[in-house]
Amino acid sequence: MSEGVPAIGFIGLGVMGSGMCANVVRKHDGPVHVFDMSEAALQAMVDLGAVKSGSVAEMAKAASVILLSLPGSRQVAEVSDEIAAHAAPGTLVIDLSTTGVSDTRAVAAKLTAAGLRFVDAPVARTRQAAIDGTLSIMVGAPEALFAEIAPVLRTMGSDVTLCGEVGCGQVVKLINNTLLFEAVAGIAEMMVVAERAGVKAEKLIEVVGLGSGNSFALQNHGPKAMAPRIFPTKAFPSAYALKDLGYTIELAEQMGVDAKVGRLAARYYQAAVDAGIGDKYFPAIIELVDGTAP
């Protein structure tokens, strides 16, 4: 980054982006320019002190560091092309989205060719963690650039980790998510088995939590969503899980690995979409196991 306090841009103020951006606005000493298709989301950030941008092009001309929080690879590629057409040389693009690894590296190559810089920095943990500024952020960047951007990332995350060169942040994020989705599928099956065999879900979580079958998924998704069958619609849905699993399976194929477990988990999340419950919080796949899905 250039000397002094950089002007930051933030594109994408959705479920995760709104919380992340709010922390940047509160903690960054310089101006924060924001853009989103939602006027309500924009106004919420303006009310906190952000500067509204009327377009990606307008932001690209105003900010020297641009953060992206977008739905997937296609949106990141499209927005990055627009940034490249209008941004000054040396502008840094930090992608907080979850995208395919090959897609990430292709965007990085295009931006580099245009004289810009690119870092992938996907995030993990919950919407509440985005609000609280306690996300885990996995970064793909050269070491010198990581040191340069870490202060910005720490406005949003309590754990900011360099995973390797560009694309490696996405590698770790996709594997993290895939392991979670696989674990939730296994818990869904075994929780229904336990319930039908006479063991309450809450007791299963308690006792397995004392043994080697314990996991983050069991202790978090189990009591908060799966045992009480509470699956809010404005959370991470099965459709998003499918997207991430697709990226991971693609990566596995490129690395010469047949991700059989990932494919099996993807069948559950696809079935949730097909059953009309794909907009619910993704642990709702337990409804497919217990037969309560439509």
- Confidence check: pLDDT of 2 > 50: no
CATH no. of 8-164:
3.40.50.720
Q: What was the pLDDT predicted at 135?
A: 98
Positions of CATH 1.10.1040.10 in the chain: 171-290
- Confidence check: pLDDT of 229 > 90: yes
Q: What was the pLDDT predicted at 131?
A: 97
Which of 218, 207, 208 lies closest to 183, judged by CA?
Answer: 218
**Across residues 34-61, what is the average pLDDT?**
97
- Confidence check: pLDDT of 243 > 70: yes
Instruction: Tokens for 110, please give them.
Output: 């295009």
Q: Which of 61, 110, 173, 243 is catalytic?
A: 173
Q: Topology of domain 171-290, per CATH? A: N-(1-d-carboxylethyl)-l-norvaline Dehydrogenase; domain 2 (1.10.1040)
**Across residues 228-256, what is the average pLDDT?**
96
Positions of CATH 3.40.50.720 in the chain: 8-164
Q: What was the pLDDT predicted at 280?
A: 96
- Confidence check: pLDDT of 173 > 60: yes
Instruction: Spell out a b/e string for 94-113, using b for 16 or more CB atoms within 10 Å of the CB, else e.
Output: bbbbbbbbebbbbbbeebee
- Confidence check: pLDDT of 1 > 60: no
Question: Is 173 assigned a catalytic role?
Answer: yes
Mean of all residue pLDDT scores within the chain: 96
**Across residues 84-93, what is the average pLDDT?**
97
**Across residues 199-215, what is the average pLDDT?**
98
